[in-house]
Amino acid sequence: MSEGASKAQEKRKIQAIKGVRDILPPETALWNRVEQTAHEVFATYGFSEIRLPIFEETELFARSIGAETDVVSKEMYSFDDRDETSISLRPEATASVCRAYIQHNMQQLPQPVKLYYMGPMFRRERPQKGRYRQFYQIGAEVLSHTGDLKDDARVDAEVIEMLTTFFEKAGLEGTALYLNSIGCKECRPKYVELLRAALTKVKDKLGPDSQRRIETNPLRVLDSKLESEQAIIEKLPRIAEHLCPDCLEEYTEVKKQLAMRGISYAQNFRLVRGLDYYMRTTFEITAPGLGSQNAVCGGGRYDGLVELLGGPPTKGIGFAIGTDRVILSLQDMRKLPVERALDVYVAWMGEKNYPAAVKIARRLREAGLAVELPPGEMKFGKALGLADKLGARYALIIGDDEVASGQFTVKRLEDGEQKKLGERELVAYLKAGEAP
């Protein structure tokens, strides 16, 4: 590189990587509110938080999500560690929860074990509104080695009830719940063959992706958004009509349990989900204002996954909420964040009065007030202008007279009302006028 070119390179503005974004204030206040809602609601259902690593052995995801899935075969950020173990940034967290369940012998704890997590996930998808390469999930999993089919259905329904409570408390309106059962290792292969046969008959009417999937994964054809395939898909055999007796019993019971809880849903035979570990109950929740990426939550049952990862036979059910999409939908509904308002702007004048300003600012902050103390001296007019711009409710004026008399001048910016108060009365006065 020539010297000129390397100079230009040095000056190049470095931007965040494609599909990865900064989440800025005041939007972060909305994120905190949504995450706080999850902490509170999930705790009322007896869930505890687990914090998981951001990266794991690639093998963990390949084995659980499935080596042939898009997520594992195309979308993972993988690299070789120095000892040449292949490592991947996590594309989801169910696999990690199961790994942790095994690693920490959680089968010895009272069952079921109910865990939730929140944090970033990574998938190298084509970025668009609501679809990012680093995105955030709030997820929960219930793992247990006990219980019969009826118990399982009750757990499924309770997990969905918790989700509806969460969305309600988060203020998300217009959500819709879609439900399906994708059978088990007994009945699904038979259905897949039936589906493959039906698809083969209409092969020349399908697009190239679906034609390929007849061989690789016929279930994924049901996922197709291609306009020309929609009428064909409507006529394909539906898995709910080909469930084995156990799967049918659980599916029927889940629907009964949801009805008993007053939760409305629509059955969607096309809901097959893109991860291999699912069996029986699968569900998705959509929200308005998101365009084509309108799924704000996906989940389902995954009995057998813990076993597949080398643990004891274990049942599992869980979900993950796409936090980015929840935020987008809330913003679309104009449910904008309310950031903590600034209570007091300290307009101090005269270098020698700065220590007094520091002292009073600390005192007010200790009392729980939000205080802005500018580091440099400012003209009175400029300080008031800034206080106004920052939305402060009060300006506290500290100059020679105030320091000498111990009486501070406080100005309510809304109406200009001014008072002179000693330190103790000042705290009481500001606290009384605090925003709710």
Asked whether 300 and 317 are in contact (CB, 8 A), the reply is: yes
Smallest gap, in angstroms, from Cβ of residue 200 to ligand HAM? 28
Asked whether 133 and 122 are in contact (CB, 8 A), the reply is: yes
Smallest gap, in angstroms, from Cβ of residue 167 to ligand HAM? 12
Phi, psi of 100 (to 5 degrees): -65, -40
Smallest gap, in angstroms, from Cβ of residue 193 to ligand HAM? 26
396: β partners? 346, 410
Smallest gap, in angstroms, from Cβ of residue 354 to ligand HAM? 48
Rank residues 132 and 348 by Cβ distance to ligand HAM and give the closer one: 132
Rank residues 169 and 412 by Cβ distance to ligand HAM and give the closer one: 169
Smallest gap, in angstroms, from Cβ of residue 92 to ligand HAM? 3
Tokens encoding 78: 């993988």
Rank residues 255 and 273 by Cβ distance to ligand HAM and give the closer one: 273
Smallest gap, in angstroms, from Cβ of residue 345 to ligand HAM? 39
Cis peptide bond N-terminal to 112, omega within 30: yes
* Helix extents (H) in 217-244: 230-234
Positive or negative: CA dihedral 322, 324, 327, 331: negative
Q: How far is CA 145 from the centre of its chain?
A: 28
Please report, as a single letter, which amino acid is at residue 246.
Answer: D
Which residues here bind ligand HAM, judged by CB under 6 A? 92, 94, 123, 125, 130-132, 135, 137, 139, 141, 295-300, 302, 318-320, 322, 324-325
Q: Collapsing DSSP states into helix, strand and coil, what is residue 272?
A: coil
Smallest gap, in angstroms, from Cβ of residue 187 to ligand HAM? 20
Rank residues 178 and 394 by Cβ distance to ligand HAM and give the closer one: 178
Asked whether 224 and 209 are in contact (CB, 8 A), the reply is: yes
* Helix extents (H) in 45-117: 58-65, 70-73, 94-103
Rank residues 290 and 384 by Cβ distance to ligand HAM and give the closer one: 290
Rank residues 97 and 373 by Cβ distance to ligand HAM and give the closer one: 97
Rank residues 303 and 324 by Cβ distance to ligand HAM and give the closer one: 324
Q: Tokens 């063959």 appear where? A: 193
Q: How far is CA 230 from the centre of its chain?
A: 31
Rank residues 7 and 74 by Cβ distance to ligand HAM and give the closer one: 74
Q: Tokens 């999500």 appear where? A: 65
Phi, psi of 226 (to 5 degrees): -65, 125
The residue whose Cβ lies closest to ligand HAM is 322
- CA–CA dist 285, 329 (Å, integer): 13
301: β partners? 279, 317
Rank residues 123 and 393 by Cβ distance to ligand HAM and give the closer one: 123
Which contacts qualify for 66-74: CB closer than 8 Å, 24 or more apart?
66/275, 66/276, 66/277, 68/216, 68/217, 68/276, 69/274, 69/275, 69/276, 70/274, 71/123, 71/274, 71/275, 74/124
Smallest gap, in angstroms, from Cβ of residue 90 to ligand HAM? 10
Smallest gap, in angstroms, from Cβ of residue 101 to ligand HAM? 13
Smallest gap, in angstroms, from Cβ of residue 287 to ligand HAM? 9
Rank residues 54 and 338 by Cβ distance to ligand HAM and give the closer one: 54
Asked whether 11 and 109 are in contact (CB, 8 A), the reply is: no
Asked whether 136 and 35 are in contact (CB, 8 A), the reply is: no
